[in-house]
Amino acid sequence: MRDSTSWLTIAGLFWLEEGASGMGSAPDNRIVLPPGSAPPYMGELILNNGLVSFRAAEGIEANLNGRGVSAAVLGTGAEGEPDRLRINELSMWIIERGGRLALRLRDYNARRFREFKKLDFYPPEPQYRIEARFVPYDSARTVLLPTAVGTEAEMKSPGYALFDLKGKELRLELLEGGEDGYFIIFSDMTSGRETYGAGRFLSTGRSRGDTLEINFNRAVNPPCAYTPYATCPLPPPENHLQVRIEAGEKKYPGSWDMDH
């Protein structure tokens, strides 16, 4: 959480509108940036038929992917890494979510980053390392998940897991997590109390036949626990567990919580 890629440095998410958008710390800009890190008028972003370009204001030194620029087209990284625009302590790039384009901002001088507090975890408990039954679908299903910013994320589900915990039979919808395993987004009865209100993330290995190990001791907070500008997917309805999962990461002491 203390390196340059920390979610605590994410300080803005600005949905782009067609045409030019002024950028800077002055309140009359369409894109208002942190006053401690941005000059009053930094330049403008221009969205034209899906293409985003940047034009620097006079006297502004901008850097794109390591070279100085006064104007440039910003690629979204649809097939790789997005172009990174750097000005002073700010780094920014274009993302696409739900068919819309937005500017994501990283501020290395962000107060949340400078005042980082330690992460807190439950002590590991063997009861939360579970051998579940893996139930595959005939073919992977498309799941539409709400996100922390009101959009929808489309993900694939290969099946679900069934297991018993604290006298209850529970089910978790699994999401594709790459070649190495599955991805789970869940909430439980500690959510909004001891743990982050919107739920937590958990990765597993691949199933072994009809069994799957789920280790809740490895549950972690999603990025939106650390910044209101993350676009985290939220748990599907099936994954709101009516049991306390006292394992994994607890609520971050300085977290922005969707419950507040």
Residues of the chain with pLDDT under 70: 1-3, 79, 254-260
Is 180 among the domain residues? yes
**Which two three-digit tokens encode residue 124?**
């590991």
Q: What is the pLDDT of residues 178-218, one digit of tens each?
A: 888 999 999 999 999 999 999 999 999 999 999 999 999 99
Cross-strand bridge partners of residue 226? none
Is 96 among the domain residues? yes
Query: Which residues are within 8 A (CB) of 172 and not within 5 positions of it... i.e. 6 or more apart?
Result: 132, 160, 161, 163, 184, 186, 214, 238, 239, 241
Q: Are 223 and 230 in contact (CB under 8 A)?
A: yes
The pLDDT, as a whole number, for residue 255 is 58
Q: What is the pLDDT of residues 117-126, one digit of tens each?
A: 789 999 999 9
Is 83 among the domain residues? yes
The pLDDT, as a whole number, for residue 259 is 43
The pLDDT, as a whole number, for residue 2 is 62
Range of the domain at 102: 7-114
Is 250 among the domain residues? no
182 and 150 both lie in a single domain: yes
157 and 77 both lie in a single domain: no
43: left (phi over 0), alpha (psi -120 to 50) or beta: left
The pLDDT, as a whole number, for residue 232 is 93
pTM: 0.85
Is 181 among the domain residues? yes
Is 205 among the domain residues? yes
Is 246 among the domain residues? no
Is 256 among the domain residues? no
CA proximity to 249, closest of 212, 185, 202: 202
